[in-house]
Structure 1
């Protein structure tokens, strides 16, 4: 594996080095020095397409990385997100001659494990591919005493390739972080940790089987959802055999209309299913792109491929409920408080700016018409406000965000006017979460009243003691000034540079007036250097300017309209 990583490293460097050099020149025009360059949208989009080609060239691991990056607006600009959203597993299927040893190594001879086996895959991906087969079915009434199954087989040799690529990514991460700011380096570190964990879990079919069976059990009483059953006797860590459930791809809206399906109803079923997984069950299917969702002839929603799945802890579940309740009430302060508690929003963020962004995002999520001038006004406000990039993704929320963004895209495809907030509010109310949140709110307010009453009784004696100390003149006050952005250090540097500049200019003037002009050259050159350093100190900005990112696809269309 180490040798393979060493051999692949030059290939990876060759693919990524040009774009890294371009980013370096954006910061310093001549790499080591020079002013920063402004990059327009067309340049970013051209770079995004070039990077997309590099990911496809490098193969399965980097294709998966690109798919995850397409859901991380905290790392990539919108042009990259849009390009990477088109990224699919465009990897040619492995030859059956190479796949057969994997199947027989796990299950024995194919002819004994299955009655028939179609060697042409019905689905191919970067980590595995799916075949159809038939097995004996003891259930009375089954056609010919057989039933059709889907057999998912791990791609031959993929384990060593993935491990070599993960080692390269781990070695390269410290270098990549030199090209980004501190906040994005935080997000990149969480992405690397998440990606390494996710791709290993996706190759473990034993884990996928456990998650599939657990989620299937949670939906056993849901009439609108169908999850395939697992054939445990023909499933191992590298082969997963499931019930074959055909259906119409959920993004094929024309076919859905021809069959008379209610697309709005399907979108609501999908949204409610994920709310149930995230809020109620704590176990969720984490890859809801259109290729993994279908509609049966009877109208039931079918979920495929549980390789990417995850769990939500109780704290995050509670905060998701608080978030939806706050959104339903359009309580912007409560929304920001929840985001801060989850760790996705920096406590130092400009609340006024973020409040405006949230108001716009809520209006967009409801499908409301938004005046173009309002969008532009808020975008300019964010661009003109210098602050540390406030949005970040802790590891425990990365998959949750992926689910939220992808589900939203699917629902909007089904119904462009779909109202996520109404559906979420109705679900939380039906499940009793809204009433529980109200009771918790009232309990908290009652506790605050009790605390205030006790404080009112304790305050007068303490106030009298403080006044006595002031009267005696022995009261001392200490103050600590927080300076996380080193503002005082910057002011001190500028003050010293200013004093030195004044001294050198004065020295140059005196020497020029009372001595020879040549003797004034040295202090004049020093003054010029100090002037340049002083100018540069005023040009440097702490933090970065950012534009708000929205997940709803219609937002981009509105912004591009004249």
Structure 2
């Protein structure tokens, strides 16, 4: 935290930003990773959340924290048994053949296998006494983040202000197994009849707020490509099923599984994709769904203006951002990521380039989009692991076309163009009378022009301040020299000190990286250097 503050302001409360090398940031990120692991379950989850927030941390931190795995040794069986029996009653009476050895352990819970009426089930049990620990850690986080907010710029402040509340909401939802059961059941219903997607059934009578019992479905881990090849499974087809499933969840259904890492995805013998662990899941409202569609269509069409419009309307890009600079960044990112064909580039490469600029430009992630961004990047990575030649954009474009979104976009464009033509025609009819009226006023010498100067960035104020400081320095230097020549050393010393203070203030106003300096320029060489670093 201290290093983060000093990077923003050299002396914490004042001073310019420090220049920090990539190696230094990676070393710091490694230390942060170790600290999060030591601090326990809540901070492991916090690290995972931060790995999806490139608007808060530099890309080096995001890359390191992405390695944080939620895998810890399971709690002692007797403690887990207490939780289980408090929720459901005696284990031996409720379950058949309950295996006391957990098959997996995580920071908030652990999973056991058992049987119900002869059917194999997976029983997820929340860690004992985890609620008090999480609440105590959340109080620490809520106390810490406002301190950092005070010292950061407006864009970072926007992201940090909602981070604590977002994290508290996310981790409490993940501890609520009743909510997970509800989300799992809803998503399962959305894929009813789809034989390519398999989602476990929830056993409601054997579940509660701290225990979740569901159908146990075995499969090959989706990242085990050798095993998939041995079983004769078409990996490219599996990748397409995964992408289409997430497109349906986000764009069509509005509720989605938000933790698609390889440990939560498996493949059955028939090639169907199995989804596990719905503790991290989310919802998307209709407005955001529409903007996500607009974004995908704009990327497929390589329409830079439409991409920026979608980002602004989603709240990801500040409306006050330098549009020309951001357009250059987007254009270079797409050009650098695509192949010879316009639809061979990968969405992860595009988002990765954008993430690299989020820390330095006025891009921000509203809480309702953080999980969507994480899903997009992780899913693309899973698909490319299955098939290195997999074309994410091509499949997304095909899906949007099948659902009629691209035709709808074209229809809206035609309607908008028609409205603009009509507006232009009306304007042409109104211009001659207005022009004649203005010329009559000029002829009567009754024509006035009023101009208002917009200075949202305070450029004029800084110019005025520099002019005043410069004039004071210009007057103080000969005054100090005159006093010194007249042998009035005390007065000369006071005048000299005053001159130095004013001169330092003038120098500092020119050293600040803001105001009337030109905006940073991004080139292909910049992007290559960043990728190589």
**TM-score, with normalisation over the residues of structure 2?**
0.90
Residues 356 and 106 from structure 1, CA distance in 2 versus in 1: closer, same or farther, beyond 3 angstroms? Answer: same
Between the aligned partners of 2:430 and 2:260, the Cα distance in structure 1 is 56
Structure 1 window deviating more from structure 2 (85-94 vs 519-528): it is: 519-528
What is the aligned partner in structure 2 of residue 454 from structure 1? 426
Secondary structure of 1:477's counterpart equals: coil
Among candidates 222, 232, 235, match of residue 250 of structure 1: 222
**TM-score, with normalisation over the residues of structure 1?**
0.86
Mapped contact 2:146–2:161 kept (Cα < 8 A):
no
What is the aligned partner in structure 2 of residue 432 from structure 1? 404
Mapped contact 1:349–1:387 kept (Cα < 8 A):
no
- 1:85 matched to 2:57? The reply is no
Between the aligned partners of 1:175 and 1:61, the Cα distance in structure 2 is 20
Secondary structure of 2:20's counterpart equals: coil
Between the aligned partners of 1:158 and 1:515, the Cα distance in structure 2 is 76
**Displacement of 1:558 after TM fit?**
9.4
What is the aligned partner in structure 2 of residue 110 from structure 1? 91
Secondary structure of 2:208's counterpart equals: coil
**Displacement of 1:459 after TM fit?**
3.3
| Superposition pairs of residues 56-135 of structure 1, within 5 angstroms | 56-135=37-116
Mapped contact 1:288–1:403 kept (Cα < 8 A):
yes
- 1:497 matched to 2:469? The reply is yes
| Residues 233-258 of structure 1: CA deviation (Å, up to 9, x unaligned) | 11122111110011111122222223
Between the aligned partners of 1:508 and 1:369, the Cα distance in structure 2 is 70
What is the aligned partner in structure 2 of residue 237 from structure 1? 209
Secondary structure of 1:393's counterpart equals: coil
**Displacement of 1:117 after TM fit?**
0.7
Mapped contact 1:201–1:307 kept (Cα < 8 A):
yes
Among candidates 197, 201, 220, match of residue 225 of structure 1: 197
- 1:39 matched to 2:11? The reply is no
Between the aligned partners of 1:556 and 1:232, the Cα distance in structure 2 is 53
**Displacement of 1:517 after TM fit?**
5.6
Mapped contact 2:235–2:387 kept (Cα < 8 A):
yes
**Displacement of 1:462 after TM fit?**
3.2
| Residues 418-469 of structure 1: CA deviation (Å, up to 9, x unaligned) | 2111010000111111111111111111222222223333333333333333
Mapped contact 2:55–2:358 kept (Cα < 8 A):
no
Secondary structure of 1:86's counterpart equals: coil
Mapped contact 1:134–1:149 kept (Cα < 8 A):
yes
Structure 1: gaps spanning 5 or more residues: 1-19, 137-145, 371-378, 549-554
TM superposition outliers: structure 1 runs of 4+ over 6 Å: 385-388, 543-548, 555-558
- 1:216 matched to 2:188? The reply is yes
Secondary structure of 2:119's counterpart equals: strand
Root mean square deviation of aligned Cα? 2.9
**Displacement of 1:364 after TM fit?**
5.7
Between the aligned partners of 1:509 and 1:290, the Cα distance in structure 2 is 75
Structure 1 window deviating more from structure 2 (196-205 vs 255-264): it is: 255-264
Between the aligned partners of 1:262 and 1:179, the Cα distance in structure 2 is 52
Secondary structure of 1:421's counterpart equals: helix
Mapped contact 2:297–2:406 kept (Cα < 8 A):
yes
| Residues 474-518 of structure 1: CA deviation (Å, up to 9, x unaligned) | 343332222122111111211121111111111112223344566
Mapped contact 2:206–2:212 kept (Cα < 8 A):
yes
Mapped contact 2:58–2:359 kept (Cα < 8 A):
no
Mapped contact 1:277–1:283 kept (Cα < 8 A):
yes
Mapped contact 1:27–1:37 kept (Cα < 8 A):
yes
Between the aligned partners of 2:266 and 2:94, the Cα distance in structure 1 is 28
**Displacement of 1:34 after TM fit?**
6.2
Mapped contact 1:349–1:388 kept (Cα < 8 A):
no
Residues 246 and 214 from structure 1, CA distance in 2 versus in 1: closer, same or farther, beyond 3 angstroms? Answer: same
| Superposition pairs of residues 537-556 of structure 1, within 5 angstroms | 537-542=509-514
How many residue pairs get matched?
A: 518
Residues 259 and 362 from structure 1, CA distance in 2 versus in 1: closer, same or farther, beyond 3 angstroms? Answer: farther
**Displacement of 1:230 after TM fit?**
1.0
**Displacement of 1:191 after TM fit?**
2.3
Residues 298 and 201 from structure 1, CA distance in 2 versus in 1: closer, same or farther, beyond 3 angstroms? Answer: same
Mapped contact 1:267–1:415 kept (Cα < 8 A):
yes
**Displacement of 1:181 after TM fit?**
2.3
| Superposition pairs of residues 375-386 of structure 1, within 5 angstroms | none
**Displacement of 1:394 after TM fit?**
1.3
Structure 2: gaps spanning 5 or more residues: 343-351
